[in-house]
Structures are given as C-alpha cells and as structure tokens.
Chain A
Amino acid sequence: MVEKTATVDEHAVLQLQARKRRNVWLALALVGFVVIVGVSTAIRIQETDFSGGDRLYFSGYLDEAEKEAADREAEARYDALKAEEAARAEAAVNAETADE
C-alpha cells in the first residue's frame, strides 16, 4: 500500500526547504562565533595590563620570567615618574619658602 506519493518537483522543494533550515542554523552558528570572539576579546583587553608584560592572546603564562621582568620595568618606570613628581613638588615648596 502506498500511503503518500511525492513527485520529483516536490522532492526538490523539500530538499530546498531542508537546506534552508540547515543554513539558518549555520548562520546562527556564525553569528554566535562572531559574538563570542568579540566578547572574549573585549574581556581580554579589559584584563590586560599593556604597560607591563601582558600581551593580548600571545601571553598566557608560558614565559613567566619575561613577563615578570617587563612588569618590574613598568613598576620601576612608574616609581621613577612618581619620584620625579615628588621632587618637582618639593622643589616648588622650597622655592616658595625661599621667596618668603
């Protein structure tokens, strides 16, 4: 007994519909991929200290010694900057005192 008949044309239509449904899933997957990469990158940028030894994506902790050295250099630069500012402020205070 034949319950249902389908023509070649109908089958082609069914195939097309099935392909369209799969393409929708594929498109959603691609959009999802783009969103995930975007969000992950934003978080990585936010969490990365570019002044020190951190490097986006290529960092990890594989070269810990190099990262620590770069971090120390960054801290030294920061300390030197603060010391310079403090010295300038002190010089200004001394100059004011001398004027008085």
Chain B
Amino acid sequence: MSVDMTAETTTPKLATAGDYVELLKPRIMMLVVFTALAGLVAAVGVTGQGINPILATVAILAVALGSGAAGAINMWYDADIDAIMTRTSTRPVPSGLVPKDEALTLGLIMSAVSVLLMWIASNVLAAGLLALSIAYYGWFYTMVLKRRTAQNIVIGGAAGAFPPVIGWAAVTGTTPLDAWILFAIIFFWTPPHFWALSLVAHKEYEKAGVPMLPVTSGTKATRNQILLYTIVLAPIGLAPLVTGLGGWVYGVVGAVLTLTFIYFAVKVWRSEAGEPEAGDAERKLAMGMFAFSILYLFGLFAALIIEHGFGLYFAIGGL
C-alpha cells in the first residue's frame, strides 16, 4: 500500500549519528575534557610521575565518554522540561528525533564503558571518581536537586568540578591538595557562570517549574549572589600561586582574568539585569558575563597546561 504524504507536513525527520552525539552535550564535554587534561598535565609537571601518552589519551577519552553519558542521562530525564523551554526544545529527545529509552540506554552503556576504560588506562581511584561524577550529575543533580532546590547549581556544581581531580588521579593514583584546589575553582565558578545565564533565561525556567535562584528569590538576590560567589572565587582562583601549582604565567593570566571577572560581577550587580523593565544593554551585560566566565575558566586551565606541559613553569611561591 502506498499513501501519498507531503514531505513538509507528515514525513518525520530521521535521526542521524549527529543527533546521538548531540545527546552527549558536546560543548560541556569540551570544557570537561579540557579541565581533565589540565589536571593530568599539572600532575605530571608537579609530581614528576609519568604516564604513557596512549594511556593518558585513553584516560581523557574515558572522561569525555563519562561526561557524554551523564549528559545523555540528563537529557533522558529532563525531556519533559526541555520540551517546555524554547532554548532546549530542539534537543534530540524533546524534538522526537531520539526515543527516550534510547537516550537512557546510551547513557548507561557509555557510563559503564567510560569507567571501564578509565580503570584499564589508569587506576581504580580515577575510575571510581569518574563513576562518582557520572552518578553525581546523572542522578544526584538531575533527579534529586534540579527540580527541588534553588541551590541546585551550587551543590550540583561539584559534578563539573571532578574532571581535573580525575585527571590528576589518573597519573598519580592520589588526590592531593592541588587537585582539590582545581576542584574548588570550578565549584565556586559554576554559580556565577550559570546564574548570569539564568538572569536572561529565568522566565523559561519559571515556565518549566525549575526552581532556579532568579525564579525563587528574584533577580536582585541572584545578582547579589553572583557578586558574592565571584568574590569568594577570586582568592581560590589564585590559590595555585600559594601552593606552587601555578607559576608566573598562571599568576599574570589569573590576575588579569580575576580582576575582569570581578569587574563584570560588579557591573551586573549594579545593573537591572533580569528585571522585567531591563533593556537590551542589561541582557547583553549578563550574557557578556556568562561568555567571559567561560573564558576565565579556559584561561586559568590553559595557563596550567602551558606551564606544566610546555616547560614554561617559573615558580612564584609554594608551600
């Protein structure tokens, strides 16, 4: 039997491999891989312990797969609220390209594969930390925190903070203070980074019933919190100079980026960003801070890679 159907109205789009890649949240994956690489390179530089380059590559691949797995589980669980929000409605699951159960299956299989690969390539500690971070994001943040508390981003931020610790553990089998400083940088960076975006997108979160801070406490409280967390982040971002993890390159890059980040936070704090009467300039300011926050994190971790990966480490201090 052949029935004519118009291609424009009735022929559904067919999923490609690219749609499955989209499930893995590739943009988040890039930042995760970059911070894990920085942790790995810094561990080699600081401790002098080596790791076979192929095994190091497999370890980084495992982190990428783990990040993708957590992203797929998140997309499976959040399909209902993603469909409500304009920004996320075109994602593979809410748009109908990928069935929900396939997203979950992909996430679970990739979780197991990533942890197994990490174990094979490095050690049980790094594999355990990777498993913990996947569970933290895929279950604790997505299923427990996100729809329950306005502190979802603060507590859930730990999930994204694990990669440099995992990278460090993959080399040394330990997680010393320096690794946890890198963890703390990402942990305290996440709230101002995400809240800057939520100042612009809070109506969407409200529509979907997600208790983001601007929805529950208002935009003024959010701007206050952005400034507060940025001020707390500033010394933590420069802490590697105290322990000796960061040298001159990190010092210069970190000082410039930290001052600029504070400048953005103060400007957002003084603005009306997120208010109903706020204009386009305020919207651009909040988005500017969001964009700069990515540059901030990228800059700090790039400085570590340059120093420890390219032999450009010149000590300033150190415990």
Contact = CB atoms under 8 A, between A and B. Distances in A.
A7 B5 contact: yes
Interface stretch (B25-33, B117-125, B304-312): B117-125
B255 interface: no
A18 B18 CA distance: 12
A18 B12 CA distance: 12
Contact of A59 (B5, B52, B113, B123): B123
A40 B14 contact: no
Interface in B107-133: 113, 117, 119-126
Q: Which of B113, B117, B121 counts the most A-chain CB atoms under 10 A from its CB?
A: B121
Interface residues of B, number: 32
Interface string B1-38: 11111111001001111001000000000000000000
A8 B20 contact: no
B196 to A, nearest CB: 36
A61 B8 contact: no
Contacts of B4: 5-7
Given A22-B17, A57-B120, A60-B123, A7 B174 contact: no
B58 interface: yes
A44 B123 contact: no
A14 B2 contact: no
A33 interface: yes
Contact of A22 (B15, B54, B117, B120): B15
Contacts of B172: 61
A57 B113 CA distance: 15
Interface in A1-47: 2-9, 11, 14-15, 18, 21-22, 25, 33, 36-37, 39-41, 43-44, 47
B52 A62 contact: no
Contact of A8 (B2, B7, B15, B122): B2
A6 B7 contact: yes
A57 B58 CA distance: 14
Contact of B52 (A6, A18, A43, A57): A43
Nearest to B57: A36
A3 B9 CA distance: 11
B61 interface: yes
Contacts of A4: 6-8
Judged by DSSP, the binding face of A is: helix
A8 B1 CA distance: 8
A46 B91 CA distance: 44
A9 B145 CA distance: 46
A8 B3 contact: yes
A18 B15 contact: yes
Nearest to A37: B120
Given A39-B54, A61-B174, A18 B7 contact: no
Contacts of B54: 39-40, 43
Interface of B: 1-8, 11, 14-17, 20, 52, 54-55, 58, 61, 113, 117, 119-126, 172-174
13 contacts: A5-B6, A7-B2, A8-B5, A18-B16, A22-B20, A37-B120, A39-B54, A40-B55, A43-B54, A44-B55, A57-B119, A57-B120, A62-B123
Give the 4 A-B residue pairs with the shortest CB-CB distance, closest first. A60-B123, A61-B173, A18-B14, A4-B7
